[in-house]
Structure 1
C-alpha cells in the first residue's frame, strides 16, 4: 500500500472525495501537510498537558525545585509530540484532510 492510499481522514477508505484529492497532490506536499497537521495537534496537546500539570507540586518528576519549569515544559512537549504522532485525538486527521482538499482544489 503506498502512502497516497493510506486513509488518514475521518471517513477513511470510503472518503472518495479525499481519495480523489490525494491523486491531485504530490507525495511531497502530502508529507508536508501531514507533518503540519501533526505539528498543529502537538501544539494543542502541549497546551492541554501544560495546563494539566501546572498546579502539580511536591516530590517526583513534577517536584517544586529549581529548573522544574524548564524540565516540565520539555517533558510535556515530548508527550504532546508522541501523542500526536501516535494518532492523537483526531485533530490532525481532519486538518490533514482539509489541507489536501484545499491543495487539490488549487491544482485543479
Structure 2
C-alpha cells in the first residue's frame, strides 16, 4: 500500500485504507463483469461437452481470472478511482469544517 502513504492527503490513514479497499473492490467487480462477457462469447467445444456444467465452470473461471487480475495490481482503475474518491472526500470534509484532528477524534463507533 505505498500508494496510500504517497498521496499527500489530509485524510487519516484508516480512511485512506478504506477508500483504497473500496476502489479495489469496484475494479474487481468491473473486471469480473468484463471477463464473464468475454467468456460468454466463446463457443462451446465438443470435447468438453457443453451444457450446464460447462456454463457453471466458465462462470467460476471468469471470476477467478478477474480476482487474479485485481490482486496482481489490476489494470489501473482502482488507482484512478482512489485519487478521485480522495478528492471528493476532502471536499466533503472541508465543506463540513472537518480537519484531520477532529476527523480522527470523531471517527470512532459513536462518532458523527
Asked if Structure 1 and Structure 2 have the same fold, meaning a TM-score greater than 0.5 normalized by the shorter chain, the answer is: yes
Aligned to 1:33: 19
TM-score by length of 2: 0.67
CA RMSD of aligned residues (A): 2.1
Aligned residue-pair number = 91
Q: How does 1:39-50 map to 2 (within 5 A)?
A: 39-50=25-36
Residue 73 of structure 2 corresponds to which residue in structure 1?
87
TM-superposition CA deviations, 1:15-49 (whole Å, max 9, x none): xxx41x2xx21222212111111111111111221
Larger radius of gyration: 2
TM-score, reference length from structure 1: 0.69
Give the gaps of 5 or more residues in structure 1.
none
Q: Which has the higher contact order (CA 8 A, sep 6+)?
A: 1
Question: Given that residues 25 and 107 in structure 1 are in contact (C-alpha distance below 8 angstroms), is that contact kept between their aligned partners in structure 2?
Answer: no
Worse-matched range after superposition: 89-98 or 74-83? 74-83
Equivalents in 2 of 1:89, 1:66: separation in Å?
31
Q: Deviations over 1:64-86 (max 9, x none)?
A: 13322222212211211221221
Structure 2 portions without partners, runs of 5+: 95-112
Q: Pick from 3, 12, 26 the counterpart of residue 7 of structure 1.
A: 3
